[in-house]
């Protein structure tokens, strides 16, 4: 949705620049996660190294977005949808940075796993990857297109990912008991599972921020706000 231009052209430029930085950061985080997962599943150390290298740029963009956001608040004192856009951009960048960190963590675990023969249990990670990556992509699409319904739909999917993480964890712990020789490998897979679960949490946060940016509605922590029956 394209809002009419501000009377102050420099304000439009500053908002556009902030948005571009967020989109670039999102693209880098997506690429980094994709490279880390391919590095794991295809046992490619080079891709792992690229994923880790991406993190530096993601971190720099986080700082840039914070700086630009503060400058917009200072110089233009945005209100209404402008204010929500600036606030959500700054919150989004924090979540994107954390997703970049998770991608780096996955890449580091993958490099350790790649030093040893492949484990059949890597298959447990595949559905988790599918779920986490799809949630992340949809949350970003919802933010970019200001699609409130798509954003809302991302939130409950996090429960499915949490359940996958629990199931994967139980299976891997069982395998550790059965095959202690491979304990280190299973442990690394366990961590990868947790990192993907965290990606889902950050995607959920992004979806919630997308709803706030587009509709000024705070949908966070709604389950906690509902009183439970005794």
- Contacts with other proteins, residue ranges (CB under 8 A): 3-8, 11, 76-84, 216
Q: Least distance in Å: CB of 15 to other proteins? A: 10
Which one, 84 or 171, has the nearer CB to other proteins?
84
- Name which of 79 and 177 has its Cβ closer to other proteins: 79
Angstrom distance (rounded) from CA 2 to CA 111: 44
Tell how far CA 167 is from the center of its chain: 21
**What Rg value do the Cα atoms of the chain yield, rounded?**
20
**Rounded to whole angstroms, how far apart are CA atoms 163 and 96?**
23
Q: Choose between 83 and 134: whose C-beta lies nearer to other proteins.
A: 83
For the bound state, the minimum distance from the C-beta of residue 65 to other proteins, rounded and expressed in Å, comes to: 20
Alpha helices (H) in the chain, listed in sequence order: 9-41, 45-76, 80-113, 125-145, 148-178, 183-215, 222-225
**Is 11 or 191 the residue whose CB approaches other proteins more closely?**
11
- In whole angstroms, the minimum distance from the beta carbon of 216 to other proteins comes to 3
What SS3 string covers 78-122?
CCHHHHHHHHHHHHHHHHHHHHHHHHHHHHHHHHHHCCCCCCHHH
List all residues 6 or more positions away from 55 whose beta carbon is below 8 Å from its beta carbon.
32, 100, 101, 103, 104
- Using the minimum distance from each CB to other proteins, give the nearer residue, 52 or 213: 213
Whether the Cβ atoms of residue 204 and residue 83 lie closer than 8 Å to each other: no
For the CB of residue 14, give the shortest distance to other proteins in the complex, in Å.
12
Q: How far is the CB of 82 from other proteins (least distance, A)?
A: 5
Give least dist CB 85 to other proteins, A.
10
């Amino acid at each position: 949705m394209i809002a009419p231009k501000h009377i102050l052209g420099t304000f439009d430029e500053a908002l556009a620049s902030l948005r571009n930085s967020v989109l670039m950061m999102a693209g880098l985080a997506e690429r980094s996660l994709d490279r880390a997962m391919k590095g794991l599943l295809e046992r490619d150390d080079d891709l792992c190294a690229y994923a880790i290298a991406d993190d530096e740029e993601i971190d720099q963009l986080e700082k840039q977005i914070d700086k630009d956001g503060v400058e917009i608040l200072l110089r233009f004192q945005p209100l209404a949808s402008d204010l929500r856009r600036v606030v959500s951009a700054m919150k989004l960048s924090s979540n994107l940075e954390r997703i970049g960190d998770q991608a780096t963590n996955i890449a580091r675990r993958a490099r350790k796993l790649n030093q040893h023969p492949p484990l059949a249990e890597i298959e447990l990670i595949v559905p988790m990857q599918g779920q986490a990556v799809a949630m992340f992509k949809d949350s970003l699409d919802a933010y970019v297109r200001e699609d409130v319904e798509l954003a809302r739909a991302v939130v409950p999917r996090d429960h499915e990912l949490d359940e996958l993480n629990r199931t994967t964890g139980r299976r891997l712990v069982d395998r550790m008991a059965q095959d202690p020789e491979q304990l280190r490998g299973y442990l690394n897979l366990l961590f990868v599972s947790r990192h993907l679960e965290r990606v889902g949490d950050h995607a959920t946060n992004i979806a919630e921020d997308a709803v706030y940016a587009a509709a000024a509605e705070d949908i966070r922590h709604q389950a906690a706000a509902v009183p439970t029956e005794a």
